[in-house]
Structure 1
């Protein structure tokens, strides 16, 4: 293998001079690339050499990169690098390198793979890309473009047109592949923007405290009413029992022998049942009245908004309980 040593730095317009650290990094990459190329690991070698050339461009690194690409089968890349290296070496007075690079470029040119592009109808503003590299339609068509063998992607786009793309396989040269780019179809017209529908009307503001407070009052009212009805039920049961016991006592004590001990016991039971009945019924009426008041006076009711007063007055007397309802309508 021919070894080309790097040594002379190339000046590039608008590029800062490489620092000592850059030069050290580039030299390390260059040595790694040479070693990998000797080992036949061409893809890794070419990547190392390309990075070395980017960090610190030199004629020697560029020509070694061209040799690596030639071995890798990338004839177009190697051809372009040999031509550039020949020109740079000549400008720096390195005649031996310039002649070597020019000879290798001429040998590669005879076996290049070329891609010939034809455009059926060049739309205004058309841009063609080859493997991501952008070309104008005028520059890309008519003559063969040197390309590396293998897969290639051709794309064409223009304002107001649908993009076109094609993948082709390019054989090793010398060969030429012709591809015709068809007339680009018109892009679909953009959909007309529909007027935005008006937002839904906002719900009326809720009256503060009415729903939550009214719901709680109604719930407590129903509970209190339920307890009241249960109390009235219990009191009614005991009232019936008291009346039954009182009837037995009256029947037993009406004879000539007076009241028996059983009659006396029945009389006590009747009094106890009557007392329980009165208490249960009275308490039931109070709970029921309180429940009715809470349900009717809950602020969620419409009459609360209208301000119509309603009142309920429960009361307990010796002969039973009463519930009085009043108001203005």
Structure 2
């Protein structure tokens, strides 16, 4: 093997070992770890002998992770080789050979080296080419990070099957492609195209403000009769009604007064002394006369006030220029009166 090929093989061996195994820099396994690893190893060996490789290989891999040993690693490599994962098995045989040699286990070292050499001739390789490298580009193979410089232009040992290649870079759109890898010896090539720039976000455009809604047309008010709704006009009619009622009451009491006065005059005529009944009738006549005067006076006063309020509550626009109306009610001991005047 030439030096350059040896360097590439060593790089891919380290990469595949990192994918399949844990780092050697780990804490020493505890007795419980060793017991667990032994149980997993026994189960994995039994399943592999039964041909159940998809169940056997994960158990052997977990046993190697919990308590790494050369023997478990060799069995895991054999399991992966039977499963068809030639690249994984090749990397595990190479690592097992080196570990066995450092531990003085020459038989195991030679066995692992021979099996690794046989598998190397049957490896499936993937060659990645980058059409236009981008700053900060990251390449992954089946989710595992690859160095863009080391990955391009060299045949990467891969397990046969379907592989996913992805490329990302700051400010670029991600790219990915799936490739089918046939069992080796074979070589597949994938070219990573120039990554497209990420489209700059368009500035947000604020929606134009909605035009103001036109005000609803004012509804025309229904015409009202002159003076309708005026409090003064309403009070004027009320006062007038009260005044008329008062005048009516005064008239009734006035009639009673006249009747009682006539009875008194008839009882006392021709006599120098009036009877007690005539005296009481005279007093009653005086009372009814007073009530009549008060009622008539108050009625006239209310009627005059009512007429004044009705006249004064007329609309200004209906008032003729120079027109002037007044009402002057008055009350006296002998009755009440209302004076109505004006200028036209």
TM bucket normalised to smaller: 0.5 to 0.7
Structure-1 separation of matches of 2:166 and 2:56? 30
Q: CA deviation at 1:190?
A: 3.0
Q: Is the 8 A contact 1:126 1:136 kept in 2?
A: no
* Structure 1 counterpart of 2:123, from 97, 101, 112: 112
Structure-2 separation of matches of 1:171 and 1:90? 33
Q: Which residue does the alignment assign to 2:186?
A: 175
The CA deviation string for residues 125-164 of structure 1, in whole angstroms up to 9 with x for no partner, is 1111000011121111011000000000000010110000
Which has the larger Rg? 2
DSSP-derived class of the 1:138 partner = helix
Structure-2 separation of matches of 1:40 and 1:193? 62
Q: CA deviation at 1:14?
A: 3.7
Q: Which residue does the alignment assign to 1:95?
A: 106
Q: CA deviation at 1:188?
A: 1.0
Q: Which residue does the alignment assign to 2:80?
A: 69
Q: Which residue does the alignment assign to 1:25?
A: 36
Alignment of 1:234-249 (within 5 A): none
* Structure 2 counterpart of 1:51, from 62, 70, 75: 62
Q: Which residue does the alignment assign to 1:40?
A: 51
DSSP-derived class of the 2:101 partner = helix
Q: Which residue does the alignment assign to 2:146?
A: 135
* Structure 2 counterpart of 1:166, from 159, 163, 177: 177
* Structure 1 counterpart of 2:198, from 187, 201, 205: 187
Q: CA deviation at 1:193?
A: 5.9
Q: CA deviation at 1:189?
A: 1.1
Q: Is the 8 A contact 1:112 1:174 kept in 2?
A: yes
Q: CA deviation at 1:16?
A: 1.1
Q: CA deviation at 1:195?
A: 8.1
Q: CA deviation at 1:194?
A: 6.7
The CA deviation string for residues 148-206 of structure 1, in whole angstroms up to 9 with x for no partner, is 00000000010110000000110000000011110111111134467899xxxxxxxxx
Structure-2 separation of matches of 1:194 and 1:135? 42
Alignment of 1:294-313 (within 5 A): none
Q: Which residue does the alignment assign to 1:154?
A: 165
Alignment of 1:308-327 (within 5 A): none
Structure-1 separation of matches of 2:63 and 2:178? 32
Task: Rate the CA distance shift 1:190–1:41 in 2: closer, same or farther, 3 A.
Answer: same
Alignment of 1:7-22 (within 5 A): 13-22=24-33
Instruction: Give the TM-score, by structure 2 length.
Output: 0.53
DSSP-derived class of the 1:183 partner = coil
Structure-2 separation of matches of 1:150 and 1:14? 32
Structure-2 separation of matches of 1:138 and 1:45? 36
Instruction: Give the TM-score, by structure 1 length.
Output: 0.55
Structure-1 separation of matches of 2:104 and 2:23? 17
Q: Is the 8 A contact 1:119 1:141 kept in 2?
A: yes
The CA deviation string for residues 103-134 of structure 1, in whole angstroms up to 9 with x for no partner, is 00000000000000111001111111000011
DSSP-derived class of the 1:178 partner = strand
Q: Which residue does the alignment assign to 1:3?
A: none
Task: Rate the CA distance shift 1:83–1:13 in 2: closer, same or farther, 3 A.
Answer: closer
Q: Which residue does the alignment assign to 1:144?
A: 155
Q: Which residue does the alignment assign to 1:84?
A: 95
Q: Is the 8 A contact 1:23 1:55 kept in 2?
A: yes
Number of residue pairs matched? 188
Q: Which residue does the alignment assign to 1:60?
A: 71
Task: Rate the CA distance shift 1:189–1:25 in 2: closer, same or farther, 3 A.
Answer: same
